[in-house]
Amino acid sequence: MNTLRGIKNILLNNLVVFIFYMLSFSTFERLKEISDIATFSFNLQMIIVYIYILKFPSHLGYGHIFFAGIIKDVVSGLPLGTSSLSYLVLCLSTSYIRNATLRPKMTAEWIAFIPALFFSNALFYIIITNFSHLSFYYTELLQNTFFTFLFFPFFYFIIINYQKNFIKDNA
Amino acid sequence: MADSRDDFIIAVRYALLKKGVKQKFSLFFLIIVSVFILILDKLSFPVVDSSRAILNDFVYEVTYITSTPGKFATYLNEKKNDHFNVVSKNKILKEEIEILKTARYDNLYLKTENYSLRKVLELGNTHSQKDEILIKARVILDRESPYLKSLLISKGTKHDIIKGMSVFSKGYLIGTVIESNYLTARVLLITDLNSKIPVVIQDTNVNAILVGIGKNTDLSLEYLPDGFVLDPNKIIYTSGKGGFLSIGLPIAETYLDKKNNLYIKSLADPQQASIIYVTRGQFNK
């Protein structure tokens, strides 16, 4: 019984890492059901990185973020290290916000997501334009950033509730 | 002012260097590693290229396995839709057969005429046995990315697939090989923003460049002569300029939408391709 409980705890504790890697392998950008509406594309990995580094830094290691970024680059055909660097810059901004925040509030964290996203995507854009011959619509990157910001509260409540209800050391 | 600047520097330094609970690496270390990898990838040393090819093969295989449940769900959905559409499809197919039967006689006539004219002009047969070798491959991944419209296929350098080969689906060109690993390869689709193909338009001598616009089947023409008006229902063929592709491969056609706007669409739907053919002969330089 104890063994089963232990396995269950390991699975629940590492679910976010598993989902994070799965997102890298699938290069998830939007829901397939609304694939005709490309404007709804958003970066779920950035939301996960931001929330976990901000609220539960012990559950998602920087090493996992780095490796997931490398995998995403391979699957997407981007220069190796682009997504990793982009996510790590997001981690840096988030870590700074965490250290500078005295009284955490969802709205303040949501607003602080804007500069964090800005630095991360600016770096992504700089790398793509200088380190590769790829061309893409800049408006798509802007839309992606906007919807990543917009969907933040939805995933914030899901993750916070998941951590409260299923992960014991955060209850 | 100086105090707040010091505080900022201390906070950034703390965020960079502090490992935190259960963190095995510091952010600073991983950022340096990422930059190092990025530079190595840009410099493209032979060792780095072969290492990347191995990494690509491994990641593509894992991605293929992880995408299987999703593919199975899509397959079931398609089968269900096919089942319900079978009667209407049968009616359309019967009509198509009648049209094709008529077209076949025209083709036979043109083929004979072409053969006779070639004989008169003393032109050799451009198709050699070696040229027509095709490598059949399976699409293992067709993930949509906003930055690159590409497919991953199940054959690589082991099966003689090299960078620059042309890829066909259902007889139509869908893209070119841009990356070849040992067991897998990446195909850049003609619908991608980075795809540029020299073409000629049906019933004209007008040359242009066919470029992708990042949509599923829609394409665009660049470098058309000033004042040239494109007509609907015209087939666009490869011009063979630059020796990249052979002449006369049908790629796209012009059409009018419901609002009478003229668009260009690919003859094949690259996103629907599951079995593709890679050529290493005539269609390749």
pLDDT digits (tens, 9 = 90+) for A130-164: 888 777 778 888 888 899 999 999 999 999 998 88
Position A35 scores a pLDDT of: 47
CB contact under 8 A, A66 and B41: no
Better-predicted residue by pLDDT, A29 or A166: A166
pLDDT surpasses 80 at A89 = yes
Position A46 scores a pLDDT of: 92
Task: Measure CB to CB from residue B23 to each of A61, A89, A127 and give the nearest one.
Answer: A61
pLDDT tier at B194, thresholds 50, 70, 90? confident
Which residue does chain B place closest to A65, by CA atoms?
A: B30
Q: How far is A1 from chain B (nearest CA, A)?
A: 27
Query: Which of B17, B43, B66 is the endpoint of a domain?
Result: B66
**Residue type (1 letter), A97:** I
Which residue does chain B place closest to A95, by CA atoms?
A: B15
CATH number of the domain enclosing B181? 2.40.10.340
pLDDT surpasses 80 at B105 = no
Cα separation, B41 vs B51, in Å, equals 10
Handedness of CA A34, B140, B67, A117 (dihedral sign): negative
Say whether pTM exceeds 0.95: no
Average pLDDT over residues A17-31: 76
- Do B173 and B46 share a structural domain? no
Position B144 scores a pLDDT of: 62
Average pLDDT over residues A91-108: 87
Domain count, chain A: 1
Residues in B touching A65 (Cβ below 8 Å): 30
| Residue among A17, A22, A25, A94 with most chain B CBs within 10 A, to mutate | A25
Cα separation, A153 vs A150, in Å, equals 7
Strand partners, B237: B200, B250
* Most distant pair of Cα atoms in chain A: their distance: 56
Residue A34 lies in a domain: no
Residue A33 lies in a domain: no
Strand partners, B212: B219
Spatial neighbors of A126 by CB under 8 A, at least 6 apart, are none
Alpha carbon separation from A23 to A17, A73, B55, B116, B198 (Å, rounded): 10, 12, 18, 59, 37
CB contact under 8 A, A81 and B41: yes
Per residue in B22-57, pLDDT (tens digit) is 677 888 889 999 999 989 888 878 888 888 888 888
Cα separation, A83 vs A23, in Å, equals 13
pLDDT tier at B111, thresholds 50, 70, 90? confident
Q: What is the CA radius of gyration of chain A?
A: 16
CB contact under 8 A, B27 and A76: no
- Do B271 and B158 share a structural domain? yes
Q: How far is A43 from chain B (nearest CA, A)?
A: 11
Average of per-residue pLDDT values in chain A: 84
Domain count, chain B: 2
CB contact under 8 A, A89 and B33: no
Cβ neighbours, 10 Å, residue B232:
13
Residues in A touching B141 (Cβ below 8 Å): 75
Q: How far is A58 from chain B (nearest CA, A)?
A: 6
- A161 lies in which domain range? 2-28+39-170
CB contact under 8 A, A77 and B179: yes
Position A122 scores a pLDDT of: 92
Position B147 scores a pLDDT of: 64
3-class SS of residue A103: coil
Position A32 scores a pLDDT of: 44
pLDDT tier at A68, thresholds 50, 70, 90? very high
- Residue in this structure with the two tokens 């070849």, named with its chain if needed: B180
Average of per-residue pLDDT values in chain B: 80
Q: How far is B176 from chain A (nearest CA, A)?
A: 14
pLDDT tier at A114, thresholds 50, 70, 90? very high
Residue B105 lies in a domain: no
Position A152 scores a pLDDT of: 92
Better-predicted residue by pLDDT, B194 or A27: B194
Helices then strands, each counted (H, E), chain B:
4, 12
| Residue among B7, B10, B30 with most chain A CBs within 10 A, to mutate | B30
Per residue in B156-172, pLDDT (tens digit) is 888 888 888 888 888 78
Residue B205 lies in a domain: yes
Task: Judge whether B167 and B277 are in contact, CB under 8 Å.
Answer: yes
Average pLDDT over residues B183-198: 87
Per residue in B242-253, pLDDT (tens digit) is 766 777 778 888
- Do B61 and B155 share a structural domain? no
Burial class (CB in 10 A: 0-12, 13-18, 19+), B127: exposed
Strands (E), B127-248: 134-141, 150-153, 166-169, 172-180, 185-189, 196-201, 207-212, 218-222, 235-238
Give ipTM to 2 decimals.
Answer: 0.86
Strand partners, B159: none
Query: Which of B38, B66, B94 is the endpoint of a domain?
Result: B66
Spatial neighbors of B238 by CB under 8 A, at least 6 apart, are B173, B197, B198, B199, B200, B245, B246, B247, B248, B249, B251
- B212 lies in which domain range? 126-285
A-B contacts (CB, under 8 Å): 139
pLDDT more than 70, % of chain B = 88
- The answer to which of A113-127, A144-158, B6-20 has the lowest mean pLDDT is B6-20
Q: How far is A53 from chain B (nearest CA, A)?
A: 10
pLDDT more than 90, % of chain B = 2
CB contact under 8 A, B150 and A77: yes
Average pLDDT over residues B121-142: 67
Cα separation, A35 vs A67, in Å, equals 28
Read out DSSP for B8-52?
HHHHHHHHHH---TT--S-HHHHHHHHHHHHHHHHHT-HHHHHHH
pLDDT tier at B284, thresholds 50, 70, 90? very low
What b-and-e string marks burial along B172-195, b requiring 16 or more CB atoms within 10 Å of the CB? bbbbbbbbbbebbbbbbbbbbbbb
- Do B133 and B57 share a structural domain? no
Position B145 scores a pLDDT of: 64
Residue B186 lies in a domain: yes
Which residue does chain A place closest to B12, by CA atoms?
A: A96
Residue B223 lies in a domain: yes
